[in-house]
Amino acid sequence: MNTLPDYQQAQLLLEKNQIFVAPAEAHGVISGLLACGLNIEAEEYLALLSDVFNDGQVFSKDLQAFFATVYKQVVDSFNDEEFQFDLFLPSEDETLIDLANGLVSWVAGFMLGFGLKQKDYGKLSVDVKEVISDFSEITRLDTTFEETEEDSQALHEVIEYVRVSALLCFAELGAEQTNTSVKKTLH
């Protein structure tokens, strides 16, 4: 499975290229696009990311390579039979506030990516509608945490909920799209 670069290195790469979003948000956007059913074969994601993060300007080669790595890693992990999908967040060495801010950025990115392609919320299942509603609440999360074991555990429970919820969205909407594109290729 493709591995992502170190979170800090990813942040520096984005900033060096004048892209002022957290790596967590970029990962969230790609995850949201895939979870709502963006055709896995499509190269469309680079153009969408360019529109969202770079005023439609073409990304530098190193950024294209970074986003391609993230995209492939998300595709691979969403399709992993052992549910190895993880959010791209600051490392555990960072403060709880950094981790919480990373989570909020990831969820905001997911909502953005999901919303870019999912236009008919009426057709979504009750479970997916609940996830979207919960994610909307999480984007308003108060990220001032004490560095206590209790706060750490609570934050990690929210992170796990978000991880499983993203998998649920993909299983319902994204996997269906993947299977359709595979069938089209076979026929």
User: Which CATH architecture group holds 7-177?
Assistant: Up-down Bundle (1.20)
Confidence of residue 181 (pLDDT cuts 50, 70, 90): very low
Q: What percent of the chain has pLDDT over 90?
A: 59
Q: What is the DSSP letter of 174?
A: I
For tokens 């009750």, what's the residue? 126
Tokens describing residue 164 = 């499983």
Tens of pLDDT, residues 144-180: 878 889 999 999 999 999 999 999 999 988 765 544 4
For position 41, what pLDDT does the model report?
A: 61
- CA end-to-end span of the chain, whole Å? 28
SS3 of residue 121 by DSSP: helix
> Among 5, 161, 164, 133, which Cα is nearest to 70's?
5
Domain range annotation of the chain:
7-177
